[in-house]
């Protein structure tokens, strides 16, 4: 087999130059046979022979061998190590030109070749962006009536559409209108292939919205036909369209202007209605997508009060019993965004015992780091934004203090900081209530470690010292501070390069000296 393959490759080099179609066809058949028997080994031999560069000259529309050459390229490009060599051999441009062919077999093999070359390969996608492939593919797509042929074009489009430059080119070439038409045609069908095509079309639509430029072009100030059509998917009875509609809204909600426009035009009510339909035994992917959209919409400050008064917290809290980590994660993120700088809402939620108990439970979800992190952050946010004694009492009674203390040791500075600020408020407002929990969680030892550690960020050192001063009001915690010789650590920080840290070190040192 190996000898035959070597002979075939040598012969192919000669016949490719002479263009004797009969001998050429025989060589190509041998290669296809070898690839069918051992694709990887044959591909390596093809690469080593230097014949890839010759394939570019064989990809001509009028040749009877073109489909076979494209088939060989499609086969070798199944191997990841062959994709860059295919690009370097200049095969993209001639393959793109073949998309205009009237020959169905040529089209099929060309589509396979392009799809395989750009599968999971970022360099090659950038090469595609500099060709007119987007325009040619959309033209080709519009011509296809046959399901299998459309599926083939979809297979090329999906990996290409991961590149932002190509996303925009596909939008400008009119792909979105084609996709919307397919959705309209297939939405009421229960045929398996129509359901599959509806999913592919709506998924691709969502993918196009992941690019900032393509998304903004389709949003058109919220007045665009595409945006309006996507809105109509949300109240649909088709789960795939509900999912795509919610994901599309989440993608449109990636800048403040879009978010403000959508909230002012009633999108929140549509998403809440959708969530309502999925509370009992609902579709988890739809729940996750709708919550993602609400979370993004809640980011602009101006939207928070509007969404709170529309009843978003009540709608979201219905999913508190969910056992699905992706839903839990988005639910927590949505609530955290909504209460940011909203004291009344933070207080109302912070006094909700069921919520706080669930947060404390999720703070121990070690298998789901995202849920655990978001639960800690929401606990801290409830205290920081409400500054309420009642909220602190609820969190103490539910066993949340130890989690906030652990959060102060997080590897993420933002989370450490949020924890320290919340703990300082606890110490200032309800030290007596929290005293025992702070003691058993070894807060004082942790603060000593944070201050002594040279790697601690300036804001962590600053807030740790503020917290130390606040803890002095407790006899037992005060004693711990004295026993750990904090004065030594703090006095070193007076010469810290950060002025705020240095000033706070002086104040803390004075406080420690007076109280000793």
Whole-angstrom distance, CA of residue 296 vs CA of residue 299 = 6
Examine the pLDDT at 335 and tell me if it is beyond 70. yes
Residue 9 has pLDDT above 90, yes or no: no
Fold annotation for 1-173 = 1.25.10
Q: H helices within 363-495, ranges in order?
A: 369-386, 389-397, 401-407, 413-440, 443-452, 458-471, 475-483, 486-492
DSSP 161: T
Q: Whole-model pTM?
A: 0.83
Is residue 124's pLDDT more than 60? no
- Give burial (CB, 10 Å; 0-12/13-18/19+) of 330: buried
- Residue 51 vs residue 433, higher pLDDT: 433
At 343-396, the pLDDT tens digits run 999 999 999 999 999 999 999 988 899 999 999 999 999 999 999 999 999 999
Question: Residue 272 has what pLDDT?
Answer: 96
Place of tokens 């420690």: 512
Length of the chain, in residues: 516
What number is the average pLDDT over the span 57-68? 86
pLDDT at 17: 66
Confidence of residue 18 (pLDDT cuts 50, 70, 90): low
Nearby residues of 488 by Cβ (< 8 Å), 6 or more positions away: none
* pLDDT of 516: 67
Return all residues near 432 (Cβ < 8 A) that are at least 6 apart. Answer: 474
What is the pLDDT at residue 143?
Answer: 78
Structure tokens at 194: 């129509």
Contact 223, 198 (CB under 8 A): no
Q: What is the DSSP string of 460-506?
A: HHHHHHHHHHHHTTSHHHHHHHHHTTHHHHHHHGGG-SSHHHHHHHH
Q: What is the mean pLDDT of residues 28-43?
A: 88
């Amino acid at each position: 087999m190996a000898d035959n393959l070597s002979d075939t490759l040598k012969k192919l080099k000669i016949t490719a130059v002479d263009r004797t179609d009969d001998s050429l066809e025989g060589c190509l058949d041998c290669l296809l046979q070898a690839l069918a028997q051992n694709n990887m080994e044959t591909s390596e031999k093809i690469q080593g022979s230097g014949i890839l560069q010759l394939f570019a000259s064989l990809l001509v529309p009028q040749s009877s061998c073109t489909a076979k050459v494209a088939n060989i390229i499609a086969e070798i490009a199944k191997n990841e190590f062959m994709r860059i060599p295919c690009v370097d051999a200049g095969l993209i441009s001639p393959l793109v030109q073949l998309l205009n062919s009237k020959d169905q077999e040529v089209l099929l093999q060309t589509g396979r070749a392009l799809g395989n070359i750009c599968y999971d390969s970022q360099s090659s996608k950038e090469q595609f962006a500099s060709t007119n492939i987007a325009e040619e593919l959309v033209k080709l797509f519009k011509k296809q009536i046959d399901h299998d042929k459309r599926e083939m074009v979809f297979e090329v489009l999906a990996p290409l559409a991961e590149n932002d430059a190509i996303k925009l080119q596909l939008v400008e070439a009119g792909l979105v209108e084609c996709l919307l038409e397919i959705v309209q045609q297939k939405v009421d069908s229960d045929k398996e292939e129509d359901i599959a095509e509806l999913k592919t079309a709506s998924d691709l639509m969502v993918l196009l919205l992941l690019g900032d430029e393509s998304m903004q072009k389709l949003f058109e100030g919220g007045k665009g036909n595409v945006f309006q059509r996507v809105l109509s998917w949300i109240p649909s009875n088709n789960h795939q369209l509900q999912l795509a509609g919610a994901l599309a809204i989440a993608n449109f909600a990636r800048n403040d202007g879009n978010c403000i426009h959508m909230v002012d035009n009633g999108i929140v009510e549509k998403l809440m209605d959708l969530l309502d339909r999925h509370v009992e035994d609902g579709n988890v992917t739809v729940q996750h997508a709708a919550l993602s959209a609400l979370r993004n919409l809640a980011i602009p400050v101006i939207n928070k009060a509007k969404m709170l008064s529309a009843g978003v917290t009540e709608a979201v809290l219905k999913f508190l019993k969910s056992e699905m980590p992706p839903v839990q994660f988005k639910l927590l993120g949505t609530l955290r965004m909504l209460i940011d700088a909203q004291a009344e809402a933070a207080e109302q939620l912070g006094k909700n015992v069921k919520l706080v108990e669930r947060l404390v439970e999720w703070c121990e979800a070690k298998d789901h780091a995202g849920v655990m992190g978001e639960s800690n952050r929401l606990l801290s946010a409830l205290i920081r934004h409400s500054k309420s004694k009642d909220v602190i009492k609820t969190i103490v009674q539910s066993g949340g203090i130890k989690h906030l203390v652990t959060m102060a040791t997080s590897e993420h500075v933002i989370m450490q900081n949020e924890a320290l600020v919340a703990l300082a408020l606890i110490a200032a407002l309800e030290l007596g209530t929290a005293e025992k929990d702070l003691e058993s969680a070894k807060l004082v030892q942790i603060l000593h470690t944070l201050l002594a550690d040279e790697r601690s960020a300036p804001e962590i050192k600053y807030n740790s010292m503020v917290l130390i001063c606040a803890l002095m009001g407790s006899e037992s915690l005060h004693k711990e501070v004295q026993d750990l010789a904090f004065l030594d650590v703090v006095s070193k920080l007076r010469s810290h390069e950060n002025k705020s840290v240095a000033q706070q070190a002086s104040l803390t040192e004075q406080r420690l000296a007076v109280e000793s």
